[in-house]
Chain A
Amino acid sequence: MTPIDATATAVARRRGPSGRRARAGRIFVAPNLTAVAVFMLFPLGFSLYMSFHDWDMFSPAKFVGLANYRSLFAEDPLFSIALRNTVVYTVGTVLAGVLNRKIKGIAIFRTIIFLPLAVSSVVMAVVWQFVFNTNNGLLNIILGWIGIDPIPWLVDPKYAMASLCIVSVWRSVPFATVILLAAMQGVPENLYEAARLDGAGELRQFVSITVPLIRSAVSFVVVISIIHAFQAFDLVYVLTGRNGGPETATYVLGIMLFQHAFAFLEFGYASALAWVMFAILLVLTVVQLRLGRRRAAQEERSWA
C-alpha cells in the first residue's frame, strides 16, 4: 500500500458513518449547487466583468475600465430620469400596497384579492390596457358617470406613471395580504382579550398590539416590494411600450437596461447599469433591515 492509499483509508475510517452521510449529502446538493453556479454565479460574475468592457455581442469585448460607470453617472441624462421614475414607481407601489393591510375577511373577497397573484403580468398588462383606453376604457366610463372627462391614461406623460402605479399596486396587494394575514393570525388572541379588558378600542389594539407584532412581516413585505418594484420591466414593456413612453414618462431602470442591451447592443453599459441597480438595492435593504432591527430592540427594552 502506498503512503497515499494509507492516508485515504485512515481518513475514511476516521469519518465513519457520519462522514459518509455528509458525503452523500454533498452529492445530493451537488446538482443544485451546479445549477446555482452555472445559472446564477457565472452570469453575475460575467456581468460584473462585462460592466468594465465595451461589448456588442459580435466584436470582441474591449476593456474600458470605469468608462461605462462614468458615462452612466456623468453623461447620461436619461439615468437620472430613469432613476427618478423608478423611485416614484417604487414608492407608489410599496406605500399604497402596504396601506392595504387592513383588508381581510370573507372568502370571496379574499379570492378576488388573490387573483392578480395567479395571472401573468403580461396578461395583466394587456387587460389593463383595455381598462385604461381613453375613449372606451372601463375606467374612463366609470369616471364619466361622475362627470369626469376622459383621461388619457397611457397616452399623456402626465398620467402614464400614475396608471402604471395603479396596476402595480393592484398586483402587489395579494402578496402583501398573504404575508400580513399570516402574520396577523400568528398574534396570540389572549393579548387582544387582555387589551379589551383594559378598555382598549379596535384602533388602539391595532396600533399597540397588531402593528408591533407583525413588524418583521411588514418590513419583509416592504423589502421584497421595493426589490420587485425596482426591477419593474414586464408591466412597463407591455403597458407603455419598449421605450418607456410616452416620451420618458415610464422610462424606468429596467427599460433602460433592456434598451441598452437589446436595442443598442451595449452589453457592457447595460451590465454596469445592472450592478448600479444592485448596489442601490443592497444599500436600501441594509438600511431598512438595520432600522427594523433597531426599532425591535427599542421596543424590547421598553417592554422590559
Chain B
Amino acid sequence: MALLPTACSSDDDALTFFFAANPEEADARLRVVDAFQRRHPDIKVRTLLSGPDALQHVSIYCAGGKCPDVLMAWEFTYAGLAERGVLLDLNTMLAHDKTFAAELAADSVASMYETFTYNGGQYAFPEQWSGTFLYYNKKLFAEAGVRPPPGRWDQPWSFGEFLDAARVLTKRDRSGRVSQWGFVDTWVPYYSALMFGMNNGVPWSDPRMNPTHLNFDDAAFIQGIQFYADLNNKYRVAPTASESQSMSQTDLFTSGHAAMALGGHWRYQTLERAPDLDFDITVLPTGPKGHAAQSNIGTTGLAIASSSPRKKQAWEFVKFATGPVGQAVIAETGLFVPALRSAVGSPDFAKAHSRIGNMAVLTGGPAHAEGLPVTPAWPKIVALMDRNIGPVLRGSQPATSLTYGLTPKVDEVLRTP
C-alpha cells in the first residue's frame, strides 16, 4: 500500500483515512491499516497523509466536499470541526452496537474518552495517549555522576532537582560554547512552558470544556512559565531559538548533545532508531506549588466525517483501531501508547518498548495527567499565545506581563469565538 499525499482520485469506493505521522511513525501506522485489511478484505482503505498543518489540510478537504471518511482528531482542534458539523456524533453509531459500547466502556480511560465528548456528542474515540514526559540520556547521566531521575509519576522530582541535574549536564568547551545541553524541548515551546505552569499546581483552564478563561493571571501558573523561560535565558541550560537553528532540538538529543528532552511518545520511533543512544524516560518535574507530577491528556482519536457515504465501513475501521483488537496491534507495533487499558498493560506493548526501562511513565501517564482546554476557538488562542509568550521565552519580558498582556485578549476570544 502506498501513502498517497492527496485525495484527487475518487474513482473507486475505497474508504479514505486521513492521518498525520512523522516518517518513522508512518510505517507502524500502515501496519495497523494492513492488520485491518486482513480482517476486512472487503473494505479497501486509501490512506491520506496530512501535510504540516493537519487542521488546515482537513478543513480544505471537507469544505471542498471531499472529506475523508475517517479522520484523525486532535484534542486541541477537533472541537472546531465538531462545531461546524464536520464530524459525526459517534453516539449515533454506538447506540446500534451495544457489544462494542460495552467493550469500550469497560476498557476506556475516562479522561481520554471524555476529551472528545463535546456539547453532548462523542466526536471521536481515543486511539492513543500522547501526553508529554522527559526522555533522558542514561549514558550522559552516568558519566556526569548524576542520579537517574524518577521512574514513576508518584515519585516526583522538584524544579530544583531538575535544574541541578540540567546544570551539571550542560557542558561548555574552552571558548565557552555549549557542547552539551542539559535540557532541550522537542515539543512546541509555548505549550511546554504551560506544562511547567501546570506542574506548579494550576491547570491551563477550569473548566476544561468550553472555558471562558485561561489561567495566565494565576501567580503560580506564571511562576512555572517563568521557570521554563529561565532555563535558557537565566540558567543557560537549554538552547535558545537561535542556538537550535542549525540543529533541531530532537537532533541535539539523538546525537548525544543534550541530556534531557521534553516530548511525547511520538518521538519514540525516531529515538529508537538513533544509533548509540542509550535513553530512558522520566516524569516532568514538579514546582514548589505543585501537588503531584503531572502530564497532560494529550490524546488523538479517530472520527468519522458526517458527510461520509461509507459510514458503515468507516465505523468498522474506527471500531477496529480504537477497540481491543486494533489497540492490541497498535501496542505491538509500538505506534502509540494505546488508549485502552488492556492494550497498555499487554506484554506486547512492553516488548515493543524494550529500550525503555521506566515503562510506568507510559502506562501510568493517563492516570497522572490533566486535561487541556477544549474550545472551537483554539487556532486563535494559539496565534495569541505564539505572539505573546514569545517575548517571555526570549527573556525580553517577564512572565508576569502575560497577566495584563495576554489574559484579556484570550478571554475575549474565548467569550466571542
Contacts and interface: CB of A to CB of B under 8 A. Distances in A.
B309 interface: no
A263 B391 contact: no
B63 A135 contact: no
Interface in A260-295: 262-265
Contacts of B63: 57-58
Given A133-B246, A135-B243, A263-B56, 18 more contacts: A57-B59, A58-B62, A58-B86, A135-B246, A136-B246, A137-B245, A152-B242, A155-B242, A242-B53, A243-B383, A243-B386, A246-B394, A247-B390, A247-B391, A263-B55, A263-B379, A264-B380, A265-B84
Most buried by A among B86, B240, B386: B386
Given A247-B390, A247-B391, A262 B242 contact: no
Contacts, number: 63
Contacts of B387: 243, 245, 247-248
B241 interface: yes
A102 to B, nearest CB: 36
A58 B84 contact: yes
A245 B390 contact: yes
Most buried by A among B240, B243, B245: B245
Nearest to A130: B246
Contacts of B62: 58
B345 interface: no
B243 A134 contact: yes
Contact of B386 (A133, A245, A262): A245
Interface residues of B, number: 26
Contacts of B3: none
Interface of A: 56-59, 133-137, 150, 152, 154-157, 242-243, 245-248, 259, 262-265
B110 interface: no
A132 B65 CA distance: 41
Nearest to A251: B387
Contacts of B105: none
Given A58-B62, A243-B383, A248-B387, A133 B56 contact: no
Interface of B: 53, 55-56, 59-60, 62-63, 80, 84-86, 240-243, 245-246, 379-380, 383, 386-388, 390-391, 394
A290 B314 CA distance: 62
B361 to A, nearest CB: 32
B170 to A, nearest CB: 17
A61 to B, nearest CB: 12
Given A135-B245, A152-B242, A59 B386 contact: no
Given A58-B85, A242-B53, A262-B56, A133 B245 contact: yes
A264 B376 CA distance: 10
Given A245-B390, A248-B387, A262-B56, A134 B245 contact: yes
Nearest to B80: A265
Contact of A59 (B55, B60, B84, B394): B84
A113 B372 CA distance: 52
Contacts of A56: 84
A58 to B, nearest CB: 4
A174 B342 CA distance: 64
Contacts of B243: 134-135
B145 to A, nearest CB: 30
A73 B379 CA distance: 22
Nearest to B388: A247
A245 B80 CA distance: 24
A33 B55 CA distance: 36
B398 to A, nearest CB: 16
Given A135-B242, A152-B242, A259-B383, A265 B390 contact: no
A135 B240 CA distance: 11
Contacts of A245: 386-387, 390
Given A242-B53, A262-B56, A262-B60, A134 B242 contact: yes
B313 to A, nearest CB: 24
Nearest to B63: A57
Contacts of A262: 56, 59-60
A69 to B, nearest CB: 18
Contact of B85 (A59, A135, A246, A264): A59
Contacts of A243: 383, 386-387
Contact of B379 (A57, A155, A247, A264): A264
Nearest to A150: B242
Given A57-B59, A247-B387, A155 B241 contact: yes
Nearest to B52: A242
A246 to B, nearest CB: 6
B202 to A, nearest CB: 25
Most buried by A among B60, B86, B388, B390: B390
Given A57-B63, A59-B85, A265-B59, A246 B379 contact: no
A59 B83 CA distance: 10
A57 B60 CA distance: 9
Contacts of A135: 242-243, 245-246
A13 B141 CA distance: 98
A279 B294 CA distance: 52
Contacts of B379: 263-264
B131 to A, nearest CB: 25
A76 to B, nearest CB: 12
